[in-house]
Structures are given as structure tokens and as C-alpha cells.
């Protein structure tokens, strides 16, 4: 699969598989998705935003399907009656990116909490997405696990960008700062400057993606049949195979795990 847009590619294959072509009235659905699976829209009506924004789009009924990665936020969405059912689809992991000089002395370690504690204690430059995305939610949970109230600890060393993963990485590269990123975006990121992966492999960096149909009982405009067909395709053997085959520079970005309890 070419390195254009991951979710757009999934959409095109899914719609070709599950619907018959209808000339000018070819069916479509709107998918609100995290930017770590999609960085552009093309013609398949993908709305690429952070997880929090994607779920808000679903709450407004402006999407048929939400495809995101923050289980606590997804479960809240379901508890509100905004989604029908959550389906695990795939996973990858988060990684801590930092300068090659590694002033925090965390490189090569596998303890992300200890790394966060060292960065905060030394007040070393750290860039946060600050956008309620799945990555931002994961970062905040890690600060909490590290025993750090980041709202109180914030200072000139901590940069809230309020932007997507790519722009946040650009900021980190320009500042030679530490940043939490999903591995998929890091693999495709070209403006690395003096940055590299410094911490990986901690089980707390697990990054699960889930998909949900927006509740048509709350939002009658939701294209229930097409949306469910897309979800069914994602978790089918064919959809899972396509996910597994997506690679950048020979490295697999996502690992399918439909049917798991993740």
C-alpha cells in the first residue's frame, strides 16, 4: 500500500468491498478519526482531528463512525449513549522522543514513568500536544502515574502546542525537546532534527485503537448501514490483513487485534 493516507486507503478498500458502485451517487460515510491514522482528507470524507475532537464531532452527529485511541474517553462516549458499540481494531505503541544528547539520561531505558520524573525534576524542554487527543490523554495519564500534577508543575520548560502530532513534533525538533509520540507518526516524520527514540517498550506505552458507530437513535442522519459495514470490514480477516500490511520503510505501523478485549 502506498504511503498516502492510511485511513483513506482503508476507506477506499472497504467501500469497494462492501458496496456496489453507483456512478455519481457513490455512497460515502463520514469518519471522524485521530490524526495518527490520517493526516489528510481526500474524497472519502475523513475528518482528521485529535481523539477528543473526533468524539465531539460524533456527539454532534456530524460523523457516522468514530475511529480513535483513548479507551477511557471511548467508554465515556458509550456511557453517554453516543455510540452503539466499541470494537477493538488494532494497536501500536507510544514512544518517548528526545534529543540525541539526552540531558535527562533516559535513553535506552524502558521505564516511561521514571523518564517523565527525570524530565520534570530537571525542567528540561518538553512539548505536549495539549489538544485532548489520544496521545495527549496518554501523556496526562503518565504524568499522573509519575506522581506529578502537571498543571502545577508547568513552566517555561513545558510547551503546550494545541496542535496535531506532526506540528507538535516540528516544535519539538526546533526546541530539541522531549515529546511523547505514537510510533506510526514518528516513523513517517521527516523533520527529525537531532531527535530520536529514547524510551520504548514499557507496557504503559501500549496504544489501542477502537471504532464505534455513532448512535442513530440520537442522530437519525447517521448512515447506520454503511457505517456498520465499514466497521464489519475493519474487523474482518480482510480488513485486518490490510491493516497488518501497512508499512513505512519496511516497518509495520499497526498490529490488528479485532476480537480482543483491549
Instruction: Check residue 20 and give its pLDDT.
Output: 40
Domains 2-91+207-256 and 93-205 share a fold: yes
Q: Is residue 116 pLDDT above 60, yes or no?
A: yes
Q: Is residue 118 pLDDT above 70, yes or no?
A: yes
Instruction: Check residue 104 and give its pLDDT.
Output: 98
**Residue ranges per domain, the chain?**
2-91+207-256, 93-205
Confidence of residue 159 (pLDDT cuts 50, 70, 90): very high
pTM: 0.84
Q: What is the DSSP string of the chain?
A: --SS-HHHHHHHHHHHHHS---GGG-----EEE-TTT-S--TTTTEEE--HHHHHHHHHTT--SEEEE--HHHHHHHHHTT-EEEEEEEEEEEEEEEEETT-TT--TTB--HHHHHHHHHHHT--EEE--SS-HHHHHHHHHHHHTT--HHHH-STTEEE--S-HHHHHHHHHHHT-EEEEEHHHHHH----TTEEEEE---GGGEEEEEEEEE-TTT-TTS-HHHHHHHHHHHTSHHHHHHHHH-EETTEE--EE-TTS--
Instruction: Check residue 15 and give its pLDDT.
Output: 46
Q: Is residue 256 pLDDT above 60, yes or no?
A: yes
CATH of 93-205, one of 2.30.30.90, 3.60.130.10, 3.40.50.980, 3.40.190.10: 3.40.190.10
CATH T-level topology, domain 2-91+207-256: D-Maltodextrin-Binding Protein; domain 2 (3.40.190)
Instruction: Check residue 229 and give its pLDDT.
Output: 86
Amino acid at each position: 500500500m502506498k504511503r498516502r493516507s492510511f485511513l483513506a486507503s482503508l476507506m477506499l478498500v472497504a467501500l469497494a468491498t462492501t458496496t456496489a458502485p453507483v456512478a455519481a451517487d457513490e455512497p460515502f460515510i463520514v469518519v471522524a478519526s485521530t490524526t495518527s491514522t490520517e493526516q489528510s482528507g481526500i474524497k472519502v470524507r475523513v475528518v482528521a482531528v485529535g481523539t477528543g475532537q473526533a468524539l465531539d464531532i460524533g456527539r454532534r452527529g456530524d460523523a457516522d463512525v468514530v475511529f480513535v485511541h483513548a479507551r477511557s474517553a471511548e467508554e465515556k462516549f458509550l456511557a453517554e449513549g453516543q455510540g452503539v458499540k466499541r470494537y477493538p481494531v488494532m494497536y501500536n505503541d507510544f514512544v518517548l522522543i528526545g534529543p540525541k544528547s539526552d540531558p535527562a539520561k533516559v535513553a535506552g531505558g524502558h521505564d516511561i514513568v521514571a523518564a517523565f520524573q527525570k524530565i520534570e525534576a530537571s525542567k528540561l524542554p518538553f512539548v505536549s500536544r495539549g489538544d485532548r487527543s489520544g496521545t495527549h490523554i496518554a501523556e496526562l495519564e503518565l504524568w499522573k502515574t509519575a506522581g506529578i500534577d502537571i498543571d502545577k508543575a508547568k513552566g517555561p520548560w513545558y510547551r503546550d502546542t494545541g496542535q496535531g502530532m506532526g506540528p507538535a513534533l516540528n516544535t519539538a525538533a526546533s526546541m530539541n525537546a522531549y515529546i511523547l509520540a505514537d510510533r506510526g507518526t514518528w516513523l513517517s516524520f521527516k523533520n527529525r532534527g537531532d531527535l530520536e527514540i529514547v524510551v520504548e517498550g514499557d507496557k504503559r506505552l501500549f496504544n489501542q485503537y477502537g471504532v464505534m458507530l455513532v448512535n442513530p437513535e440520537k442522530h437519525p442522519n447517521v448512515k447506520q448501514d454503511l457505517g456498520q459495514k465499514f466497521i464489519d470490514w475493519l474487523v474482518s480477516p480482510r480488513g485486518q490483513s490490510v491493516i497488518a500490511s501497512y508499512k513505512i520503510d519496511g516497518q509495520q505501523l499497526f498490529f490488528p487485534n479485532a476480537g480482543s478485549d483491549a
